[in-house]
Amino acid sequence: MTSYRREFLRFLAASPLAAAAYGQSPTSTNTITSAKDALSVMDFEPVARRVLPPAHWGYMATGVDDDKTLRMNREAFDHYQLRARRLVDVTTADLKTEVFGAQWESPVYISAVGSQKAFHPDGEIATARAAKAKKAMQMLSTVSSVAVEDVGKALGTAPWFQLYMPTTWDDTEKLVKRAEAAGCPVLAWTIDLLAGRNTETATRFTRTDQRDCLSCHATSPTAGANTSSNQRKPMFAGLSGNMNPPGATWSWVERLKKMTKMKLLLKGIDTAEDAKLAREHGADGVIVSNHGGRAAETGRGTIDILPEVVDAVGAQFPVFVDGGFRRGSDVYKALALGARGVGIGRPYIYGLSAFGQEGVEQVLDILRAELSLTMRQMGTPSIGQIGRGAILRNGVRV
Ligand SMILES: Cc1cc2nc3c(=O)[nH]c(=O)nc-3n(C[C@H](O)[C@H](O)[C@H](O)COP(=O)(O)O)c2cc1C
């Protein structure tokens, strides 16, 4: 090991900055030994870090370049304060919400995370079983380590399907038709990785990993999207494996929409302008997302983007959001700003890595309990009662 590497590892282990960079709560230093001991979803993070190989941890926890967008997703929640109302009957809270005609138990959903067997041997199946037990919506990644049909069986219903578009329309049609045939009600096309990305910190972690990555998979986890390793993924059976065409433009949304009966969401919308274009070109909704800080660097936190998107498309057009949600109060802020649902990525992967299905279940339970408490404390015990009156941005009404 070079002295630089040793220095870097020592820096990572010791630095409170590093803890903040990867979202680690300063209070979660004592690691838990059972899922039930977790008091916050961040209690799973140090356990995940301990059990995962450095390359897998780095692939999951980090962002791009200097990890500034990653950090901003968390820091932006501090721009918002809540305005509590009193003397409302808050004996119970009702988290139920309706999305595309389906009843959700809670607005929090499981967002797409690829290659989940890199985090636990049961991968997406453990996540699906947890989602089923907790009646949560699961969005499955195109680059999943388990096929959509098998995830549907474990989940008891078809998941939403996240699309990384293949580079040919032929392959796109095959993949979309497969998701449709599996019964997926919603297709979420991720459009924030079409230009590629620079996963520098993840690459540094990979360099510290003593294992031979190529003994388990064809390329390193940070090798990029358009690699032959995709061909081994179950959803790429019979397809070339190349994806994320950089030449895609807005007309592609219409063409994709015509291809399927599934509801079409665009995942990775970061401006009012693009939200309007998404609606004009036939999307059924948008997901405000910066890929968990894993796409472009020095962007805004998604909670800061959400209001302009909601204002641009109006309350009737479904707007979802993900990125940095770790507390029920974070979820509450998004609902107050007009989000229909809130996606989580890393929190459930921490839970999965640490304790498999049970960890994912506990993450969902904790976020629900925290959201329920916040709703009752705020005097808004049902989702429909939560609105802009409940929130301030830097002390000013929004
Ligand atoms: C390890 C990892 C893999 C991911 N894989 C995908 C993916 O395959 N498709 C996708 O659209 N988003 C993917 N995402 C992004 C998530 O869907 C989501 O936008 C993001 O994780 C939310 O931020 P959070 O992790 O701070 O909750 C991934 C995120 C992580 C951390």
List, chain by chain if needed, residues with CB within 6 Å of any ligand 1 atom: 59-60, 73, 111-114, 141, 143, 162, 190, 267, 289, 291-292, 294, 322-325, 343-346
User: HSE-up of 249 (CA within 13 Å, CB side)?
Assistant: 2
Where would I find the H helices in the chain? 3-14, 16-21, 44-51, 54-61, 68-75, 123-133, 148-155, 169-181, 200-208, 251-259, 272-280, 302-313, 328-336, 346-377
Nearest-CA residue for ligand 1 atom 20 is 292
The span from the CA of 334 to the CA of 107, in Å, is 10
How many whole angstroms from 113 Cα to the centroid of ligand 1?
5
What pLDDT sits at residue 211?
86
Given a contact cutoff of 8 angstroms between Cβ atoms, the answer to whether 225 and 193 are in contact is yes
Strands 391-393 and 80-82: antiparallel
Residues 6 or more apart whose CB falls under 8 angstroms from that of 210 comprise: none
pTM over 0.85: yes
User: Is residue 120 annotated as part of the catalytic site, yes or no?
Assistant: no
Give the per-residue pLDDT at 215: 75
- Residue 344 CA to ligand 1 centre (angstroms): 8
Q: Candidates 111, 267, 288: which one to mutate for ligand 1, based on the most atoms within 8 Å of Cβ? A: 111
For residues 63-81, one letter each, b for 16 or more C-beta atoms within 10 angstroms of the residue's C-beta and e for the rest, the string is bbbebbbbbbbbebbeebe
DSSP secondary structure code for residue 382 in this structure: B
Separation CA 188–CA 156 (nearest Å) = 20
* Structure tokens given for 234: 């179950």
Q: What is the rounded CA–CA span in Å between residue 172 and residue 256?
A: 9
Shortest-distance atom of ligand 1 to CA 323: 23
Query: What is the DSSP code (8-state) at residue 252?
Result: H
Per-residue pLDDT of the chain (398 residues), as tens digits, is 444 344 444 444 444 444 444 444 545 456 999 999 999 999 999 999 999 999 999 999 999 999 999 999 999 999 999 999 999 999 999 999 999 999 999 999 999 999 999 999 999 999 999 999 999 999 999 999 999 999 999 999 999 999 999 999 999 999 999 999 999 999 999 999 999 999 999 999 999 998 888 777 776 655 555 556 788 899 999 999 999 999 999 999 999 999 999 999 999 999 999 999 999 999 999 999 999 999 999 999 999 999 999 999 999 999 999 999 999 999 999 999 999 999 999 999 999 999 999 999 999 999 999 999 999 999 999 999 999 999 999 999 99
Instruction: State the CATH class of domain 3-397.
Output: alpha beta
DSSP 356-378: HHHHHHHHHHHHHHHHHHHHHHT
Asked if 333 and 354 count as a contact pair (C-beta separation under 8 A), the reply is no
What ligand 1 atom has the least distance to the C-alpha of 162?
Answer: 11
What whole-number distance in Å separates Cα of residue 67 and Cα of residue 84? 34
The secondary element (H helix, E strand) that includes residue 61 is helix 54-61
**What pLDDT, on the 0 to 100 scale, is given for residue 231?**
81
Q: By alpha-carbon position, which residue is closest to atom 28 of ligand 1?
A: 113
Residue-level pLDDT at 221: 57
**First and final CA of the chain: distance in angstroms?**
53
Q: What is d(CA 285, CA 179) in angstroms, rounded to the nearest whole number? A: 18
Question: Ligand 1 mean position to 370 CA, how many Å?
Answer: 22
| Dist CA 233 CA 143 (whole Å) | 6
Tell me if residue 285 falls in helix, strand or coil. Answer: strand
The CA–CA distances, whole Å, from 217 to 232, 242, 311, 350, 398 equal: 9, 17, 44, 22, 48
Please, are residues 115 and 352 in contact by the beta-carbon 8 Å criterion?
no
The residue whose CA has the least distance to atom 1 of ligand 1 is: 60
